[in-house]
Chain A
Amino acid sequence: MWYPETTEHLSEIIRKACETGAGLVPLSSGPPHLHGASVNPEAETVCFEKMNRILKIDRKNRYARVEAGVSFGTLLPALAEHGLRANHPFLPRAGKSVAASMLEREAVLVPKYQYDYTDPLLTAEVVYGTGDVFRTGSAAGPGPVEELKADMVCPWGPGSIDFLRFLCGAQGTMGFVTWTTLKTEIRPSESELYFIEAEEPEVLSKLAAKLLFKRVPDDCIILNAIAFSAAFSEDTRQENLMREKTARWIMICRISGYERRPQERIRIYSGYLKDIAASYSLRQGTTLSGAEGLETFIDSRLDDCDRSDVYWKLRRGRVREILFLCPPSRAGLLTKMLEERTKVLPRENVGIIIQPQVQGRAFRIECDLFHSESEKEMFENCALEGEKALFAAGAYFDRPYGKLPSLVYQTDPVGVQALKKVKSVFDPKGILNPGKLCF
């Protein structure tokens, strides 16, 4: 286990590994680790817990720069103090590394702010498998970082290569990131939370796409009753009660006003929400049947990470996630297929979350199979079979973990060859997280 404290220290560790041929795997989040990207028996762990400084929060230019070990638990309140918010995932665990979340292209809660799949990640400093230090986008230069006058927020380049994109989704196989710059947004001064209930997910995903096309909501997320009750209850008893009382599918939609004329904005945009929802024969409400009185609690949960002792997805001990992307036209169909494929499991163990992304041009669908240690094999088999069927039906597994890489890379030998060429440039000795993805 290595604990770098500076970029130079990390560079030294990697250069040494180059000489010895030892594999290295980065670890930047605290436990529990759900996907296994940071677990590698063939490698020594490089833990970033000592690189945990918030380097900068710039209210005027709306960005923050954080080291790899900074977690949501630390960053979110610090941003709030500056009147800013991060476009973060839905209820991440408090110990989750902000940099790791962005590098893994995790779904974000406010799709209107996401112009690209890499958003809100702007720039990064990385140590490649050669030990060389590199900075992406406008952080590249000119000159050393201490002398550079730029705010280091432009994500593209330098030059004709988009270096940042090789790091995203790479699970540390291309380089180890030491710090990242992320886009932040003005914290709304006022907001209105709406719930829209439905029996089927498809009508809600269509509504979400339409709302995002018009840039109406800030936060926007669709959950089935199981995921909703798991996320918004404080214990298993409350979760069980809520699950039985709420609608099968719930969309949470928050409309915000900022520093100028907030109420006017909320009134106009709430009107858009009402009109568009009505065009789908849906109604929005400010209360939710089955969760009355919890609206303020739900509202506050959207702005924070999960700080409880037991992460909300782990109340039954374990969770197996199925994660994929799809375009709006496929969201309903693939969600239905997901429900069919998991029917063999108890209903209360299958949480599904549908998140519109990139301004509503895509959906990140997440299925959480909650289970105990003794049920692991049954749930794992069900998940694997489901993933195969979904893949065949066009689901896009852009973040393949565990056994998924062999499935997703098998159809594209040219792409795999190209990825290996890229890897050979940035990690010629193959020491960074060996054996992951197609490497």
Chain B
Amino acid sequence: MSMTLEAYKELEAVVGERNISNKPWVLAGNRARTPEYPFEYHSPDAIILPGCTEEVQEIVRICNRHRICFVVTVSGASVDAYANRGDTVLIDLRRMNRIVEINEEDRYAVIEPGVRHVQLYPELRKKGFTYVTAAVGPGGSVLANYTSTSGDNHNQHGASRANRYLLGVEMVTPEGEILRTGSLQTGSGWFCPDGPGPGLRGLIKGFFGSHGQMGIITRAAIALNPCKGPREIRTEGHSPHQHIYLDSECSKVRVFNYKSLDDVREAMLRIGEAEIGSTVMKFFYLTLAVMMTDSANEFHKLWPRIRRELPMPLVVHLATESPEEMAYEEGILNDIVEETGGVRIAPDLENWWNEHMDFFMVVSVLQRTLRLGGGWMPIKLGADSVSHIVEVGKSISEFIYDYTDTGKIFDAPENFQIVPMEYGHFAHIELLFMYDRTDPNSGKNVAEFRKTSRYTDLKHHYHAETLGCLNETTELLGPLYCNYHLWMRALKNAFDPENLANPILKE
């Protein structure tokens, strides 16, 4: 440990001795948990758990005085949320877990970073609201989904990506100032993310979040959408065999299989033009088979059938205000499916969704995707028009067989999802694959597969790559994307001249 005792004592004075530790076994337990990733694994010098914005501010100021790097963590799902060098303090925000306000009239909720989906979703549903919920499972931080990750979600066809719903934000800057964005700046409340004049909200999140490189977000307001269907959800059984039902004549799930991606694209665009449907998505069929089963043996039993009967499933959830509207939407959907060559899947398979309506809320069976080998990774994750993203999807077959046929990764050719948003104005793609974490070559194989996927997109001039915060990949890709890395770096330098806030790039 290189942190001085003086610095440690100053930090301890902010949060109290119960909320800070430099014990080696505690620090070792707070290292990144993905040894197969090419990442510099360090224990932090200390882990500290602030309880409020002012404590975060004080911690950041102490770090600045002593020139200590700081990394913020809450869900801990990303390697960027861990120390990547020495002289680093890990700031864990889990104690900041209050739902500060639910404003029903103005349709927003103000939350702290430690608020989990399992905490917020039921509170809102009881009041007739929902929000766009990334499929990260109930334990994920809501705020992190809105500010730091993609924010893509299963319901974005009839809604949008989380970016659209992030309102006023309170953030501690890398130099320890409390910055408020949008209407908060002038004391007008949380409702608006932008202005006065240019929006400082631009610093908070672009396509992805900055993973703490531009500051630590301590509170944020998110916009709420209406919840269609009953406020109470009926459940049966116990985990992992729980069933979750939405008993409503205004809620119907229909799943169709398609033979070509061109037909899927046509269906998506026509459904979007008609402005019907709450969820429309081409879902991963291999992942689906994993989610549908309780064990690896069951998966292998089911997989041949899934592969045969729904290799290209289009999942549609119709959620309406009235049975009359349901008949209207269903009529249009049936017309479109007929025109585009979709075939409704067997009732027993389709019924899986009716028994797992959490799929459209907070996905509770996501961890099952880890079952086959323990390794799991989503790549691409870019977004553009539905038409463009379908072209990206088609190009996957150019390279995937080299990896699946040789066992380097575990995947299937069409195992990607395309989820339109804003009624088909854009769509995102996610290529999901699994791998054996115990295989010593898995890290190398994963890196090679990612690289091939990326180079295929670059070769075709497709916009599908994950463009995230400042890191080595950003430096590599930046020149191909209007030198965005240089502008990001200049902004980072302006706000963090000492390069202390999660300095992922080596100096």
**A147-B461, A329-B105, A361-B223 known; A399 vs B196 contact (CB < 8 Å):** yes
Residues of A within 8 A of B483 (CB): 132, 134
Segment with Cβ contacts to A, from B70-78, B243-251, B465-473: B465-473
**A63-B385 Cα distance, complex, nearest whole Å:** 10
B233 proximal to A (CB < 8 A)? no
Smallest CB separation, A27 vs chain B (Å): 19
Contact A158 B481 (CB under 8 A): yes
**A117-B192, A149-B388, A261-B332 known; A160 vs B469 contact (CB < 8 Å):** yes
A386 proximal to B (CB < 8 A)? no
Within 8 A of A (CB), among B264-314: 269, 273-275
Within 8 A of B (CB), among A112-162: 115-118, 132-135, 137-138, 140-143, 147-162
B195 proximal to A (CB < 8 A)? yes
B29 proximal to A (CB < 8 A)? no
**A206-B383 Cα distance, complex, nearest whole Å:** 36
B180 proximal to A (CB < 8 A)? yes
Contact of B206 among A152, A161, A424 (CB under 8 A): A161
Residues of B within 8 A of A105 (CB): 194-195
Contact A174 B385 (CB under 8 A): no
Smallest CB separation, B53 vs chain A (Å): 13
Residues of B within 8 A of A327 (CB): 103, 105-106, 189, 191
**A268-B322, A414-B178 known; A162 vs B105 contact (CB < 8 Å):** no
Contact A162 B196 (CB under 8 A): no
Residues of B within 8 A of A132 (CB): 483
Contact A421 B494 (CB under 8 A): yes
Contact A173 B480 (CB under 8 A): no
B398 proximal to A (CB < 8 A)? no
**A261-B328, A421-B494 known; A150 vs B226 contact (CB < 8 Å):** no
Smallest CB separation, A90 vs chain B (Å): 20
Contact of B461 among A142, A155, A260, A405 (CB under 8 A): A142
- Give the residue name and chain of the A residue nearest to B464 (CB): A150
Residues of B within 8 A of A2 (CB): none
Smallest CB separation, A135 vs chain B (Å): 5
Contact of B388 among A150, A166, A260, A394 (CB under 8 A): A150
**A168-B182 Cα distance, complex, nearest whole Å:** 12
Contact B490 A258 (CB under 8 A): no
B491 proximal to A (CB < 8 A)? yes
Segment with Cβ contacts to A, from B9-17, B197-205, B370-378, B430-438: B197-205
Contact B203 A418 (CB under 8 A): yes
Q: Mark A157-185, 1 if CB is under 8 A from B, else 0.
A: 11111111111111101100000000100
Q: Mark A214-231, 1 if CB is under 8 A from B, else 0.
A: 100000000000000000
Residues of A within 8 A of B386 (CB): 61
Residues of A within 8 A of B214 (CB): 160
Interface of A is mostly: loop
**A141-B457 Cα distance, complex, nearest whole Å:** 11
Contact B331 A168 (CB under 8 A): no
Contact of B384 among A154, A213, A395 (CB under 8 A): A154
- Give the residue name and chain of the B residue nearest to A164 (CB): B202
Contact A160 B105 (CB under 8 A): no
Q: Mark B383-394, 1 if CB is under 8 A from A, else 0.
A: 111111001000
- Give the residue name and chain of the B residue nearest to A119 (CB): B164
B439 proximal to A (CB < 8 A)? no
Contact A150 B384 (CB under 8 A): yes
Which A-B residue pairs are the 8 nearest by beta carbons? A157-B207, A398-B195, A165-B202, A141-B481, A150-B463, A396-B188, A165-B199, A151-B385
Q: Could you give 13 example pairs across A and B, Cβ below 8 Å?
A: A115-B165, A140-B463, A158-B207, A159-B207, A162-B205, A326-B188, A361-B191, A362-B191, A396-B183, A398-B197, A422-B198, A422-B203, A437-B198
* B interface residues, Cβ below 8 angstroms from A: 103, 105-108, 159-161, 163-165, 173, 177-183, 185-189, 191-211, 213-214, 223, 226, 269, 273-275, 321-322, 324-325, 328, 331-332, 335, 382-388, 391, 422, 424-426, 457-458, 460-463, 465, 467-470, 474, 477, 480-485, 487-488, 490-491, 494-495
